[in-house]
Amino acid sequence: MQFISAEYLFTGKAAPIKNGVICIDNNGFVLEVLNPAVDEINWEKVKKYEGIICPGFVNTHCHLELSYLKGKISQDTKLHGFIQEIISLREQFSEQERLEAIQLAEQEMITNGIVAVGDISNGNTTFNLKQQNNLYYHTFIEVFGSDPAIAKSAFNHAELLYNSYFDKTKASITPHATYSVSNKLTELIKSHCIKNNSLVSIHNQETESENQFFKEGKGKLFEFLNIAEKTNQAFKPTQQNALPSFLAKYSGLNKVLLVHNTFTEKDDIAWANQFSEHIYWAFCPNANQYIEGRQPNYHLFLNEKCTIGTDSLASNWSLSILDELKTISNNSPSIELEKLIKWATINGAEFLGIDKQYGSIEKGKKPGINLIEQLNGDSIKLTQESTVSVLF
């Protein structure tokens, strides 16, 4: 049993506790959370750190299987260019190179204080590593196919992967994005998700041409995917943005995570909240910067259930939730650290359904304990020099 403290304790739920103390056992279970303002503390037994203590981070959006592409993809390609480069490069790497990259990427996440991951998979490359339980994983088996003719074969491939997964309570079949799934494929995915009460993760409004795709039936994505030919000219613009155009087809789902949201507007958020009470939002700030050179309007989301993802090393320089928070803080300095910590911890845990163990520092939980140092002490703000280390 140990007592640890820092200048501020961010539990993930409550307001930060100045000089808060955690009593924790040697296995990382929280025995007690103490507030010096109301609790009597024997400070001789307390190990005090500079900086802040917070729960382990929850990375709600990652593509672990793409780790072999670190540093291989050009920056600022926009989404269609990014997809083109992945397609052109992905056959140039051996299975061994991919496996080694995955192992290094997982260790990077562990070192950076990540305890749980919502991970996208298009194949089974990551399954054996995930079975070792070094981190908590929920695997989203991703399906795409804008051509209705391949809907059945695309879904069957995903279903084979799903059935081969070692723990189906931690797996879902999920649509890739608003623009890449035909109506026929949508029906197959939706039926499976409702039957299994699955969590769903969808890439949403990551690029400007995504909204144009649905509003006008044209644009770079529309042309890149050759939608007119695939649908025999039957595609009809909805005159709406991508989010309502696509998600309206998925009524009756469990929790839905909308990922990126770089071009999401106020009306989209209002529509989503009316559509379902179980909408969560994931931001991947550094991937947005890498691909599009743009950030979402975070201030539109201050009252929403927001989470943080790293995306993949194909579109990022690191797998670090702290690095993502730094980017948000730099872009929107008025957003308080308390809110950012909630986005990075408890909100993601609640989406993944693991908040009984992860996401907040509370008695009986084993959430992981992170120490963040080198903050701006006067305002309790992150700086570019801020670092994270794992205490438990």
The DSSP string of 269-317 is HHHHHHH-S-EEEEE-HHHHHHHTS----GGGGTTS-EEE----TTS-S
Residues 150, 259 share a domain = yes
Residues 100, 7 share a domain = no
In a domain, 233, yes or no: yes
Residues 101, 15 share a domain = no
Residues 108, 49 share a domain = no
**CA atoms of 56 and 346, how far apart (whole Å):** 9
DSSP state of 30: E
- Residue 130: CATH number of its domain: 3.20.20.140
In a domain, 50, yes or no: yes
Q: How far from 206 is each of 112, 177, 291, 337, CA to CA, in Å? A: 26, 9, 9, 25
- Domains identified in the chain, total number: 2
**CA atoms of 282 and 261, how far apart (whole Å):** 8
Give 10-residue mean pLDDT values along the chain (392 residues): 98 97 98 97 97 99 98 93 91 95 99 99 98 99 95 98 98 97 97 98 96 92 81 83 97 97 98 98 98 97 99 98 99 98 99 99 99 90 97 98
57, β-bridge pairs: 114
Q: Which residues contact 322 (CB under 8 A, 6 or more apart)?
A: 57, 112, 113, 372, 382, 386, 387, 388
Q: Which residues contact 28 (CB under 8 A, 6 or more apart)?
A: 366, 368, 369, 392
Cβ atoms of 63 and 101 within 8 Å: the answer is: no
- Is 241 buried (19+), middle (13-18) or exposed (0-12) by CB count in 10 A? buried
In a domain, 336, yes or no: yes
Could you count the other beta carbons within 10 Å of the beta carbon of residue 384?
Answer: 10
Residues 90, 12 share a domain = no
Domain containing 157 equals: 57-358
* Tokens (6 digits) for 107: 């260790």
Residues 193, 295 share a domain = yes
What local confidence, expressed as pLDDT, does residue 174 receive? 98
**CA atoms of 257 and 223, how far apart (whole Å):** 27
For 210-224, b/e burial (b = at least 16 CB within 10 A) is: bbbbbbebebbbbeb
Residues 284, 197 share a domain = yes
- Is 2 buried (19+), middle (13-18) or exposed (0-12) by CB count in 10 A? middle
Q: Which residues contact 183 (CB under 8 A, 6 or more apart)?
A: 148, 249
Task: Output Rg (C-alpha) for the chain, integer angstroms.
Answer: 21
Cβ atoms of 49 and 363 within 8 Å: the answer is: no
In a domain, 366, yes or no: no
Within 13 Å and on the Cβ side, how many CA atoms surround 33?
25
- Residue 29: CATH number of its domain: 2.30.40.10
What local confidence, expressed as pLDDT, does residue 80 receive? 87
**Helical H segments across 145-225, by residue range:** 151-164, 183-196, 208-216, 220-224
Residues 94, 37 share a domain = no
What local confidence, expressed as pLDDT, does residue 232 receive? 64
- Is 336 buried (19+), middle (13-18) or exposed (0-12) by CB count in 10 A? middle
Whole-model pTM over 0.95: yes
Residues 353, 295 share a domain = yes
Residues 50, 92 share a domain = no
Strand runs (DSSP E) across the chain, as ranges?
Answer: 2-9, 17-18, 21-24, 30-34, 46-55, 57-62, 114-121, 136-143, 171-175, 200-204, 256-260, 279-283, 306-308, 369-373, 387-390
Pairing outcome for strands 2-9 and 21-24: antiparallel
DSSP state of 74: P
Residues 323, 265 share a domain = yes
In a domain, 370, yes or no: no
In a domain, 371, yes or no: no
Q: Which residues contact 285 (CB under 8 A, 6 or more apart)?
A: 295, 324, 327, 328, 331
Residues 61, 23 share a domain = no
In a domain, 367, yes or no: no
In a domain, 70, yes or no: yes
